[in-house]
Structure 1
């Protein structure tokens, strides 16, 4: 049977054998080329045939293999470049400088990148010399070659779409680069704020859950006056609410962009009216109220917007670190600490001490906060050290702030779901502290007077007895009076 099948199949195989053999024996000339040649002022380079980037990007890849973190690590940063280049192409067409057919090709390329395509071609390391020239040229080359391909041309056929003459028309790295960073930071700020809002809501939810649990407040680590555990958690949420408001306000310092400034702010090579139209296009594309500055030279050399924006993230870091440290203190124990609350147990806490469970989520939040605070110091120093009409250290400024945003965007939802949502109260511990604390004596001042309450406090300290215990022994107040004075609403300032 198999022989019959083979006899039938042989004529069919023979029919296609010549074509099959020819396909398998392509001459070297028929093989697709592996490289294309591109050149710049320093000479020629061999570019991988399938790469959308060009010669200047390749030089950057060779010169700056620093951190391993590339432009495409931050998708909003890649999108920001496409937004800038799209706005510039449209503006140049409006002022009559760019041919509409070239603008149409560039527009298609930019929209594809904005849509999330071709991000793997944005490869320059975030740390780079040249004040961002490599990142700008990476965008110019990639978008030019995408446009060429969409036109049915080959990559590198720059006589049809040229990275400098077309994609960088009327522009300079010195206005494109900071503008792209502004846009990227604002785009990601929306996402960070959303996570911060969810975190604040989680604390407020716990505040409602714990609103009837009276506890002792503490100042300087010492017993102070009563409050509810709910008030304490609402306060945590309100602190985050305040930090969110600062984040929102800090955006206003980034709305001013220097497109049209070109090299130093004089607008050399930009067409009349281009700057205004380009900024208007960016505002339209992003839906954000971007505006041009009053002084383009000042805007090109100054880093005030970055300093203010970074400071807002430092403020969030300080806020979340304070809250995290408070949670670590409140859960300390379980037998020899405060132990007023329980954090969710996520993993064994020691390789040597059985039964130990650590507050790992507040700890990791603190680590992120320390890094963000350090990033803000980097932004401060780099912003100070730029010389004259340009700050060459913008790459480390951009990297530092984007890293801060990315870290918070990752850690806040984990902190919320793995820690805050699962916190429970140790009600018996709270009650015992309230019964034995000397701090409760402050609530008795209006009834017994300062001198008498001071005597009670002193005796309590010396005897080890609680204030309420002494009051009952000395029959200074009736049980009804004690109950009224210790009513949670009255005791904690709630009406």
Structure 2
């Protein structure tokens, strides 16, 4: 039966190597897309809009390149390009019906794009959907390509765009943390190691350390984005370039770079670039590392704000919603909590991506769909988490300065600052007395006449306790 012929009212018949199938007459997808949608009802989710756009860029670049190479006639190329441009404006996305997780290394997604673009191009040329004699999904839209170079390239382009958005939010977070570091620079508090009192630190120093860690993640993200710029377009099925014209192979990546406004480079070894997904593992690792950093910061904020009366109570987080259905007035640290949960999910996604990349065999890895599903989710959710972390938490944090001061003065940890002036053994003796009696280190030192009030003020000056470079005796001589 001929493709595109009407079988019953409102339907057209399309045929592939499996057989004939009724397709709703008004849709732009075709038989292979519909079979995939029926076979892979996995997540119930739609394809990420950015990968749909990435496929449109690739198909557009391929049509232009094939036309330049004399392989695709101009009118077909022009219609394909117009169809791709429409997709890039957000049109036709609803006809990408295949599940993000699918068998076949992404062939279903590639064919979904080929069919939608072909059917729209057929309409542009005045034909009827399903009449693939006018524009063929395989022979015209997919000319010079294979799923095995199109899909990894689309995954890399999508990752780059999503990473750019994540980087923008991370830069905002870095700025917000730097502002808090400056705001809190004068606030001295108790530093803690292994959850026990250690030595004093300035609250601003803690926030400065957070900002430095985020900047390190931004640099790591930049390196990850570089991993995504090398593509295997032109390699077709296994990287050997079978069925691709030599002129097409040499021009496709420059053309793709030009129309997408992303500087791609063609892999030196197209076979290697077709076989291996390690660049996606590297990107996932960078995203995971950033998630770990953020989760640790979120943990610290929850601890420092705990109580507020029976916990540390050193900082206040913005109150965003009621914290209990039974305990009146309770407010929970919900924003740091959601950051933690996003991080847990990203860590799990990274394991999945790692195993999927390891699971490839010989000339192809069939598991790119699950890699992309997990990676795009990780990048997107981290960006959203950072956004709410900034706007609903970090910028509104305030310090309880008096509480911080009291904890320092009542802590055994300040004995470390006094140790150079009274000696280790005497300092240890004073510390034991303080722990046994509950009396402050300051009072014990003064009562025993080990230091004067003025000397104590100098030794326990916030800057002196939190900056290196001056010995104890030099400090008192000053």
Under TM normalisation by the shorter chain, which class is it?
over 0.9
Are 1:413 and 2:387 an aligned pair?
yes
Secondary structure in structure 2 of the residue aligned to 1:251 = helix
Matches within 5 A, 1:142-161: 142-161=116-135
Q: 1:63 aligns with which of 39, 52, 58?
A: 39
Aligned length: 462
Partner of 1:345: 319
RMSD: 1.6
2:23 to 31, 47, 72: 47
**Aligned-residue offset at 1:33:** 5.0
Displacement of 1:96: 1.9
**2:157 alignment counterpart:** 183
1:170 deviates by: 0.9
Displaced runs of 4+ in structure 1, greater than 3 A?
none
TM-score, with structure 2 as normaliser: 0.93
Instruction: Write out per-residue CA displacement over residues 32-68 of structure 1, whole angstroms, 9 at most, x where no aligned residue.
Output: 9512221111111221121111111111111111111
Asked if the contact 2:34–2:97 (Cα under 8 Å) also holds between the matched residues in 1, the reply is no
Give yes or no for the alignment of 1:34 onto 2:39.
no
How far apart are residue 357 of structure 1 and its match? 1.8
Pairing 1:444–2:384 present: no
Instruction: Tell me whether 1:194 sits opposite 2:182 in the alignment.
Output: no
Cα distance in structure 1, aligned partners of 2:364 and 2:434: 67
Residue 213 of structure 1 is matched in structure 2 by 187
Q: What displacement does 1:424 show?
A: 1.4
* Structure 2 unaligned residues grouped into runs of 5+: 1-7, 470-478
Q: How does 1:304-323 map to 2 (within 5 A)?
A: 304-323=278-297
Instruction: Report the Cα distance in structure 2 between the residues aligned to 1:101 and 1:117, rounded to whole angstroms.
Output: 21
Is 1:257 aligned with 2:231?
A: yes
**Partners in 2 of 1:75 and 1:55 — Cα distance?**
22
**What is the DSSP-based 3-state SS (H/G/I as helix, E as strand, rest coil) of the residue aligned with 1:46?**
strand
Residue 243 (structure 1) aligned to one of 217, 238, 248? 217
Q: Is this contact kept in 1: 2:319–2:331, CA < 8 A?
A: yes
SS at 2:80 equivalent: helix
Distance 1:466 1:50 in 2: 81
| Counterpart for residue 472 of structure 2 | none
2:56 to 74, 82, 85: 82
Give, in angstroms, the shift of residue 445 of structure 1: 3.0
The reply on whether 1:491 has 2:465 as its aligned counterpart is yes
Contact preservation (8 Å) 2:227, 2:282? yes
Equivalent position to 1:274, from 248, 254, 260: 248
1:78-128 superposed Cα distances (whole Å, 9 cap, x missing partner) = 110001111111222222211222211111111221222221111210011
Name which of 315, 331, 348 aligns with 1:357.
331
Deviation at 1:465, TM superposition (A): 1.5
Q: How do 1:298-309 residues align onto structure 2 when only pairs under 5 Å count?
A: 298-309=272-283
2:138 alignment partner, SS class: coil
For residues 34 and 205 of structure 1, the distance between their equivalents in structure 2, rounded to whole angstroms, comes to: 62
Instruction: Compare CA radii of gyration and give the structure with the larger one.
Output: 1
